[in-house]
Amino acid sequence: MWDDSALSVLLTTSGESAELVALFEKAGERAIGLICNNPVSTCWNLARYKLPILAGPEYGNATKTYTNAAAAAIILASEILDLPWQQDADRAADIFAASLDPIFARRAELEAFCRGAANTEIIGRGAAYGSAIMSALCIREMTGHRAAAHTGAGFKHGPNLDVDESHVAIIFAIGRVAELGIKLAEECNRRGGKVILVSNDDRKATGQLFPVRIEAVPEPWESITSLLVPQALTLGMVERNGCRLPPRFQYGVMEQ
């Protein structure tokens, strides 16, 4: 696969990941692109074709890095496929900015809705699956609460079978697969679980359903905008219970 690929693109926040450094050192004349947040790193110095993430230093969890890296990857893929992206990016940025304060203003409500849950499952399809992974990581690292990311199918045929009153699911029902997310939310509710449903439509709240509406964005930019609700929940949990992860994110040699 390595020899057959026309182009390989490596993505690393620190630029010091041992596996990626080794790939650059063994690459020879192969075309390798780099997306990286550290312009003084080993990978950056070894790469000929590179794109900066421009997220700056991170203090706590790497949310800025995820957001900027996702945007950089979308733009790069669009350029490779010769697809327009500027208008879509502008719309996504506008909706992200307009949604930030209203969603974060509900963080105490989100925390109260989830309080006492033993498990939080975050479900995303398509590009929103990346947001689910980042959201689960952030909740675990910042609060110590158990959270896990799933695709729709992975959840339906796995954790969904164990859903009861102790479970909360955050479901991204957005884009062309929105209806599948809505059906999954209904099934979770029938089993007794609670659901935070992130969608592009207004929906009625119940004791088991906390709907959050966010404006639609072009695919695959929902990988960024869908992140807002779990981030607001994380902040609400930290404000109530304290932060498990002290600010400590710095670049340097990574040891395993």
Helix (H, G, I), strand (E, B) or coil at 80: helix
Q: Domain limits of the chain?
A: 8-80, 103-241
8-80 placed in CATH 3.40.50.10680: no
Question: What pTM, to 2 d.p., does this model score?
Answer: 0.88
pLDDT at residue number 253: 46
Do residues 213 and 106 make contact, with C-beta atoms less than 8 angstroms apart? no
Instruction: Please measure the distance between the N-terminal and C-terminal CA atoms of the chain and give it in whole angstroms.
Output: 27
Under the banding of pLDDT at 50, 70 and 90, the label for residue 163 is: confident
pLDDT at residue number 177: 87
**Given this chain, do its domains 8-80 and 103-241 carry the same CATH topology?**
yes
CATH number for the domain whose boundaries are 103-241 = 3.40.50.10490
28-61 CB burial, b ≥16 within 10 A, e <16:
eeeebbbbbbbeebbbbebbeebbebebeebebb
- 13-58 confidence digits (pLDDT tens): 889 989 999 999 988 778 889 999 889 999 999 998 999 998 887 7
